[in-house]
Chains A and B, each alone.
Chain A
């Protein structure tokens, strides 16, 4: 019954998406009053659809919670012996379930837009809802026609086949939903951009409506990428935090586009400039989201994320991708000419700096896109090429380094037009920091160029982030400005973490027998023993390590080499000691023969990663900055709305009073 209810809700949502699309589109016809009246259905359709799609996802969640083995998806991806929390997270740890989550979030954001947004012109809103319905319809069709999550088995399975052990981790509970909210939040930005383009209403008011959605999606993307990076870091047991893996790139590309869009939409809202640019980035950001979904969901990549190995599905998403991206670009091509470019500005202005960095972000996006898709392209012609860090790092840096420099200076410039001489002092300070840091590191030792530049830029950015506060009253600084400062400082913190990690990481790899000691970066690590242990659905070899530094009390570390039995797979559980200045990272490997005394030896791998945690602290700061900006903007909007309302009421009152006062005055006064 659960499955049938879920499926029915999904079909109804699809039907409502059709209603939303048609009524929204009819609402665009101004000439025909009878047809335009249909537009009234667009908003309710979106709201009810959101309710039904979320209900449908709730039903699947329920089926996973009780391990209903008569449903094919549950039987192939869950197991009755699994810990409860992973039964729940297993709902989106597979192709169908994660697509249902995708669609539920899409419907929910469409419903929120329809239910809450009242500032936009009604015609633009109708166009927006029509586009949103059109996008949703495609994904409903994808789910219902080629990946039905509620399919029943003819005979219920006796036991489920389990979930990929790598995915049985709390990281999975957070990472995909946050990332999906980010991906899908961009769909609203896309629909709004299309709506504004169709009705030629690309105005600052429209930008103010769009901005919270972009910020919202961007915050979730940032959190999703940060969580994903940390998950890969400690769960895969390789000590790396970014592998330029296609799946990681699939999440980075929408983030880059959304970052550019975020800044562009701010310029449009504040200065009425960069109109077509904002629309273009809106299209690009959601296109990258869909491309990411395609890459991960179609199975073109073989990786832990690619659950679907069915080419039919890949083709389906590819067709959707072509339809949406191609369609939006066609509308853009037709309409872009009719939208004026907006207010002008000089190169040395805040807009100028923002344009520069938007171009840089787009260029980095192009590099990542090329490096991700090129190997897939050549593989189609049976030529296998690998593109990895040695390519992405320098090619990305060509554009990232100028971007960081401009990012430090940009917020100090004035809107419209400014003279660099005005901020001479700040420029000198920043230049001194960069040069000083480079000299200092050069004295310390011989390190690769990119990490050194990264460190120097991080130092300068960290200071520059706070410079916009100069000459401002701290208590009167708007919350949105604090948001920008926090986010920019977060970039500096993250960059610092990345640079120190890649420049100063130390690694020790050794075969050790219980009782022996290894030294690394001031740490003393002793292997006390190795024991077999067992969990609910795995057995493991667990090392007992005691690590200490500078004569302090030893901390215990228990890295494990786990073997899961459903499905059968080995994973490496790292153990970490987190200190303010970095992390000690330990992994236990296989047996490594006997030592001279006949004791069993084990492969032990230890890293000292200075300030590695700053990478994720930075990510959190960036998200926090986004949240502050949302709160600040929404608060100002609400206050303004209230003020306008109050003004209208007063004006109405005054008019009434005047009306009441006028007639007696008109009468001749009795003498």
Chain B
């Protein structure tokens, strides 16, 4: 049993070593020194999708690609870019799919039109069910 364990640990170590061969980008696992900028970066990273994962944000993923994207976000924020600009740059590079915050566009307009319609419907329903009652009083 012990040699099985030793073998597995060796395999494990080897795979870890293989990952070390290509070190993660500097800011993949390192926070920015300025807490304000780091907070900005974290807020942004929480709303960006890790494209290689299944519904995870890049902030929550251990995938190498997510690490690269975190590095991109942190270094761009450090360079003085606004979170909005970084998001726009990432969308331009990877498409709408990368952003969990849909922007109004030809493909996403129903996401914004429907809630507005919903507010109107809700007002209408409430007026019908509650508003009229007040006028007619109790029967």
Contacts and interface: CB of A to CB of B under 8 A. Distances in A.
Given A245-B55, A389-B100, A374 B133 contact: no
B125 A359 contact: yes
Given A370-B111, A386-B100, A240 B60 contact: yes
Q: Considering residues A384, A385, A572, A603, which has the most beta carbons from chain B within 10 angstroms of its beta carbon?
A: A385
A572 to B, nearest CB: 7
Contact of B8 (A565, A589, A592): A565
A367 B12 contact: no
A386 B99 contact: yes
Given A346-B134, A383-B107, A370 B101 contact: no
Nearest to B101: A390
Interface stretch (A155-163, A502-510, A548-556): A502-510
Given A346-B134, A384-B95, A304 B54 contact: yes
Contacts of B126: 355-356, 359
B79 interface: no
B80 interface: no
A391 B5 contact: no
Interface string B34-47: 00000000100011
Contacts of B100: 386-391
A386 B97 contact: yes
B111 A371 contact: yes
A344 B136 CA distance: 10
Nearest to B16: A591
B30 A511 contact: yes
A210 B111 CA distance: 36
A49 B48 CA distance: 49
A238 interface: yes
Contacts of B129: 355, 359
Interface string A299-341: 0001110000000000000000000000000000000000000
A386 B102 contact: yes
A255 to B, nearest CB: 19
A472 B137 CA distance: 29
A347 to B, nearest CB: 4
Contact of B137 (A346, A534, A570, A590): A346
Given A356-B126, A386-B102, A346 B118 contact: no
Interface in B11-34: 12, 16, 19-20, 23-24, 29-31
Interface residues of A, number: 59
Given A360-B122, A366-B118, A390-B100, A355 B130 contact: yes
Size class of the contact patch on chain B: 35 or more
Contact of B138 (A345, A355, A356): A345
Interface in A365-398: 366-367, 370-371, 374, 378, 383-391, 395, 398
B98 interface: yes
Interface in B94-139: 95-102, 107-108, 110-111, 114-115, 118-119, 121-122, 125-126, 129-131, 133-134, 136-139
B71 to A, nearest CB: 13
Nearest to A369: B114
B9 A388 contact: no
B40 to A, nearest CB: 12
B20 A593 contact: yes
A395 B117 CA distance: 12
A363 to B, nearest CB: 5
Contacts of A534: 5, 8
Interface in B43-64: 46-47, 49, 54-57, 59-60, 62
A303 B54 contact: yes
A417 B49 CA distance: 50
Interface in B62-106: 62, 95-102
A563 interface: yes
A626 interface: no
A617 interface: no
Given A304-B54, A378-B107, A388-B49, 5 more contacts: A236-B60, A240-B60, A346-B134, A347-B133, A386-B49
21 contacts: A240-B60, A243-B56, A246-B55, A344-B138, A346-B138, A347-B134, A352-B130, A355-B129, A363-B118, A384-B96, A384-B97, A386-B49, A386-B96, A387-B100, A389-B100, A511-B29, A563-B8, A572-B62, A592-B24, A593-B20, A593-B23
Interface of A: 236, 238-240, 243, 245-246, 302-304, 344-347, 352, 355-356, 359-360, 363, 366-367, 370-371, 374, 378, 383-391, 395, 398-399, 416-417, 507-511, 532, 534, 539, 541, 563, 565, 570, 572, 589-593, 603
